[in-house]
A and B are shown apart, each in its own frame.
Chain A
C-alpha cells in the first residue's frame, strides 16, 4: 500500500482549497469572456479541472523519491516526444508545440517542465556543498539545454522562458560562485545576441520592440497590449461588472479567455478584483514556497522550490505582460487561464509540492 490514512491527514488541504478557489475564479471569467462564442469554454475548463485534480492525485500517491529516481527515464521520453513533435506535428498557429489526441491537444513542452523539476532535483540533491562545482554546473546546463533548444525551435518562447526560470531557480538554490555567475551572464548575453539575430522570428522581435513603444504600432503587435491596458485601466476601482466589460464583451481584447484573462478581471472587477486575486495568489505561493521548511530531504526542497517558482514565474510574467511591462510571450496565468495543458501541468507541479510536504516524516 503506497498511501495510508496518516499520509492523508498530512495533505495540505488549505493549499488545495486555494488552488480550487483560483481555478473557479478563472472559470467565472472564462464564462464572462467567452459565453458569446461557441464551444462552451467554461464547461471544458471545469472538465479540465477534474482531469487536473486526478493527475495531481496520481502524482501525490507515488512517493516523490520514486519519481526522482525514475526521472532520467521520463527525461528521455520527453526529449523523444519533443523531437518527434518537432518533426511530425502539424503547424498550429505558426508553432509545432501542440500534439493532437482526438479532441484534445497537448503541449509536450508543458510536460517537459515537470520532468525538468524532477531531473534537477535528482542532480542537485547529489551536491551537498555550499556551492555547485563546475562539473555539476556543466551537466545541469547540458541537461536543461537539450529540451530548451527543442522548445525554442518549435517555437514556443513562453514555455522556453518558464523553463529558464526553473533552471535558474535550481542554480540559485544550489549556490553559485561569483566566477560562475559572471561566466553564465557572458554566455547568456552571447546567446541572446545570437538568438536575436538568427533564431527569433520577425513577429517575436516586433513584440519585444513593441514593448518599448506600444503606441507605435497600435493595430499590429502593440494592439494587444494597448487594448489590454485600456481594458484594465477602464475598470477603475470597482470594475464595470461581471459580463459588462466593453473591451472584453465587444472583443477588442485579444485572447480574452486564455492569456488575457486577468485583463478581463481588471476590467470587470476593477482594482479591487485585481487586488483580491493577487492576494489569493500570494497566499497560495507563500503556502507553497514556505513549505520548503517542511521538506525531509534535499531533493524535496528542490522540488518544492522549483515547482513553486514555476507557478510564481508564470503568474508574474502574465500580470506584467497584460499591463505592458513585459513582451507578449504567450504565457498563461496558471489556474485561471483557459487551457488544459497548462492547467494539468500546474496542478501536477502543485501535486509535487503536496507530495513532498505530506511525506516529511522519515519513518513513513
Chain B
C-alpha cells in the first residue's frame, strides 16, 4: 500500500528509526559480550570474591587447662565471660564512629584509640577486643544495636578464674594479654588476637601445656555482618590440666601464718622434692589481671615498694644467718676440722684478728661441743671453725649444699643468691679477700645471699642424710607422677654420719631447750635451726645497741619432721621478725602440726 495517495511518504523517518534500532542492537550485542567476559572468563575471580563475601571465620577461644592441688582441688578454673571486639575493616567513617562506640560500650574514647594504636600492625579484619569481662545483661544493649554498629562483635570467651582469690598467687602466677609481637612471632603457634597468656608462675612455666587449641567456626554472614548459618565448626580443645604438689590446706595455713608480715614460708616433701606450700607476703589477687584493662591497678602493684608481685620464696635474697651454721658443721666434720667431741669454750665474746667478736648470748654458753653449739647457735664455736676452714673451703661446702645456684624449681625467675669466695671477690670487686670477712660468713652474714627455697632444699638434703632432691611443683605429667619428678644430680655432699651428728644438734635445738624450741610439737620429733640475720652492718648494729635502740633482724627457721623418715621440711622467713626462735620457730611449729593433721586424715 505505500505509494497510495492517502498515505504520506514516511520512508525517510522509518529508515532513520530502523537505523537507530540497528545501533541499539549492536550496543546490546557488545553488552552481552561484556557479560560473557564477567561471567565466563572472570568467573573464578568473582566466585572467590562472593565466597569471601559470605563466609567469615571466627576463632573459638579454648579454655586453659585447669590447675589443681595435690588433692584435686581446683586452684585455677575457667568461667564464661563476654567480650566486645572491634573489626576495624567494617568501620566506614572513623571520625564520628569512635565517640559513639565509646559511649555504647562504656570506655573512654582515649582508651579506645590507644587500644587500636596498639594493634595498628595487626590485619584490620582481625577483631580487637575493646572491652572484656562482661556479664550477659551488659551485652544486651550492644547486641540490640548491631545494625548500627556492624563493626562491633560480641563473643563469649572462657575467662580464667581463681576461685581461691590470692591463694598461692605467686605459685599460680597470672595472665596478661599476649603482645602484638608475640602474635607475630607465633613460633608455630597460632595465637588469637587478644588471647591471654601466662606471665608469671605456673601459668607461665607451663603455658604451652595449659594453653588449649582454639577452635573455629565458619559462619555465613549477610552484609550487616549478621550470622545466618554455620558451615563448619572445629570445637576448641581445652589445655591440659596441671596438677600441683601444693596442698591447698597447707598453703592456706602458711599464708594465714604469715598474716600481714612480709616474708615467706616454704614446705617440701624431702623424699621427693615436692613443694607442699610456698607462701609469700605481700601477695595479690590474680583475678585482677584477667581483664585486659586495669592499667592503674597493674602499675600500682608494680610500683608498690613492698613488691607484692615478687615471690619472696624464690626471688627474695637474704643472708642465711645462723642457719648457715649447718653448712659449717657438716663441712667441719666431714673434712676433719672438728669431731663430734671437739669443744670450744664460749664466754660471750672472742677476739679474732684483733677484732672483738661477740656471741649473741653475752653471758657465754660455756663449753660447747658440736651438737650443743648447733642447739644453742653459739657464734664463738663457728667463728673458731670458720677461721680454721678459710673462705674457700666454706664456699665449696655451701656450693655442695646447693647455695649460690638455682634449685631448679619449675617456676620462672628463680634467683641464684651469692656465695662469696676469694676468687669471686677478686673477679667482681678486684680486691683480695680479707680473713676477717671469713668470720662474718661463718655465721651466715657478710655477702652471703640465699633464697628461702634454697634453704628449704638444703634442709631437705640434711633430712635425707645427704640425698639430694630437686624441688618441683608439678605432681603429674599426663597422669604419671614419675614423669614429673626431675632427676637430682650429684652424689651426697658429705658423709652420712656427719648428717646424723648435725641432726642431733637440730633435734636438741627444738626438743631440748635450744633456740628452736618454739617449733616443738609434742610427739613429732622435729629438728630445726633458727637464724636471725642482721640487716644493718655490724658496726651500725653495735652503735644502735649502745644507744639502746632495738635492732630488728630477719627471723629464720628451717627444719624437718619427724627426725626419722622425715615427711616435711619447713622453712620460714619473716622480714624484720626479730629473733628466729621467737618469731619463725612458732610458725614452723604450726606448719608441722598442720601437716601432721593432714597426713593423719
Contact = CB atoms under 8 A, between A and B. Distances in A.
Contacts of A285: 21, 24
B95 interface: no
A298 interface: yes
Given A230-B50, A282-B25, A285-B21, A172 B16 contact: yes
Nearest to A247: B50
Contacts of A247: 50, 53-54
Interface string B168-205: 00000000000000000000000000000000000000
Interface stretch (A56-64, A88-96, A97-105, A234-242): A234-242
A236 B21 CA distance: 29
Contacts of B16: 172-173, 175
Given A130-B12, A312-B24, A232 B36 contact: no
B49 A233 contact: yes
B118 interface: no
Interface stretch (B217-225, B295-303, B494-502, B524-532): B217-225
A192 B25 CA distance: 27
Given A229-B38, A266-B35, A293 B54 contact: no
A271 interface: yes
Dominant SS among interface residues on chain A: helix
Interface in B5-57: 6-8, 10, 12-14, 16-18, 20-21, 24-25, 27-28, 31-32, 34-36, 38-40, 42-43, 45-47, 49-51, 53-54
Q: How large is the interface on B (under 10, 10 to 19, 20 to 34, 35 or more residues)?
A: 35 or more
Contact of A229 (B24, B46, B228): B46
Contact of B39 (A246, A250, A266, A286): A266
A292 interface: yes
B28 A282 contact: yes
A309 B20 contact: yes
B546 interface: no
A319 B35 CA distance: 9
B467 to A, nearest CB: 70
Given A282-B28, A316-B27, A292 B17 contact: yes
B202 to A, nearest CB: 46
B92 interface: yes
A57 to B, nearest CB: 26
Interface in A92-136: 128, 130
Given A175-B12, A271-B35, A320-B31, A246 B7 contact: no
Q: How large is the interface on A (under 10, 10 to 19, 20 to 34, 35 or more residues)?
A: 35 or more
Nearest to A312: B24
Nearest to B91: A219
A174 B13 CA distance: 7
Contact of A278 (B17, B21, B28): B28
A298 B10 contact: yes
A44 interface: no
Given A236-B43, A247-B54, A286-B21, 14 more contacts: A130-B12, A169-B20, A172-B16, A233-B38, A233-B45, A274-B32, A292-B14, A292-B18, A295-B14, A297-B10, A316-B24, A316-B27, A316-B28, A320-B31
Interface of B: 6-8, 10, 12-14, 16-18, 20-21, 24-25, 27-28, 31-32, 34-36, 38-40, 42-43, 45-47, 49-51, 53-54, 92, 220-224, 228
21 contacts: A227-B53, A230-B46, A230-B49, A233-B49, A237-B39, A246-B220, A247-B53, A250-B228, A251-B222, A251-B224, A252-B54, A252-B223, A271-B36, A285-B24, A286-B25, A292-B13, A292-B14, A293-B14, A297-B7, A312-B24, A362-B6
